[in-house]
Structure 1
């Protein structure tokens, strides 16, 4: 409501009240009209001055401050001139919007705090497990003074495997930190995606063979599939996805890689017939250290952030990755690459 309308309504209320009161005592229509007119004018002037002087000016100042602070100005510069025709309604809408934004910020901070606690707990567990194992093997060698070379060699091999696990974890943490901070540059170039997939399959065949898992990339993809991306980073994406499918695939199963040509993109699908993922966990599979079954997943191994690295690499390419899965039947991870 405009200031003049607000003042006029109040002035009319006062003028009508005084006019009726005067008519009640004087019983004269002339006195009623004169009283009404004088009261209306006087009330309007007084109310307008009082509201403008002591209320409206303060509201304008508050509105001006809120508006300028929302624009990101420093407090000392926030009191500059800003003119509005209806600061009462404007300040109400501004405050509501400000409250909504702050609520969203608080909710986000709470979510980040929860994520931070989970992350610290997960990384602490992931680091201390191999460290304690190495420490135990070394202490056993020091305390027992083992003369059996075979037993000593076995302890050293186990310690070495845990050191490798620790080294892989630190390497992956460093990689994802650099990806999130934008330190790793994406070097775009044209390359044959089909050829790269074949190279990854050759590289992962030994690991898949230990689980009797067959890696399938059909002959129909023998023709070149040209894409524009960072070849090394896409290779890392494929290795992580294939490695993930081997870890969670079933023995004597298979992992299939397929490519589909879209309008200006290439869609790549990595599908396994393994244990699958429960539907409730699908939105979280790309979070760092997230595991649907922590005890079983740690027995399988890995750093726990491979999928998070995949997601960050593809986002750095301005591409997307999705997952669909049925528990007990398998999972499919699909991502896009820009067509060359």
Structure 2
């Protein structure tokens, strides 16, 4: 039994899935759906296309309910407890067995349905302007000419929070691996705010609560700019919540620039991060304001290709 499961006992036994600690950290929980759960879920949503789920937003919650019901409504309680508890706040979800669909776009459709179920068990996904849906799909290749680090294969994507440049609240981020070819490296990187050695130094800085302007490159399809501090609010216990990314901050003066530079240097030098490999089909779900995330660089290969799916949204009660 995981450390988390001992702390958050359910009223009855987990049905159709298991939970264990990630080997390198008791914060990150590993959730595995069993073969029977996956088969039952695939059958229960087989009549709905992804296009139908895109066109009818209420179907996203029905997809979520079908999965939760299969587990006797133990999955929803467990996932919400994990992601909303600051001591954990993240899970890596995998599944066993074969959903009974062919590889290719049919398999991808199943993966989109599964990620939709998970995201709408814990909240409501925001519109992703980059892709034009409640989710985004994008590909990382060996060569890239985009205007942000998202698709840059040969450098480390620095630790950050999502949702810095939008008006919508971004409580959670879901990242799912849809497929990969000729890939080595590229592990997901995670750092919990409370494990950051220099956290209190930056919280106590005079600029910690000062508004900073945040924008985005053209590929994000978001024209507005927003203002908020890096430490934009506290949780119910008074602990800091973060909203930071190095690429999209637009400091107004030298002091802000220095503060952001030093913060980035500190985060990247911190040894307390996790390096998380993700098999195809797996998804990583994090509390966006208590975990920073990034990506390690890939080993160069002419045929390198990784397709990812992202959902970002807010909690619902």
Q: TM-score by structure 1 length? A: 0.20
Q: Which structure has the highest strand share of the two?
A: 2
Higher relative contact order (CA 8 A, sep 6+): 2
Question: Which of these two proteins has the greater Rg computed from alpha carbons?
Answer: 1
Higher helix share: 1
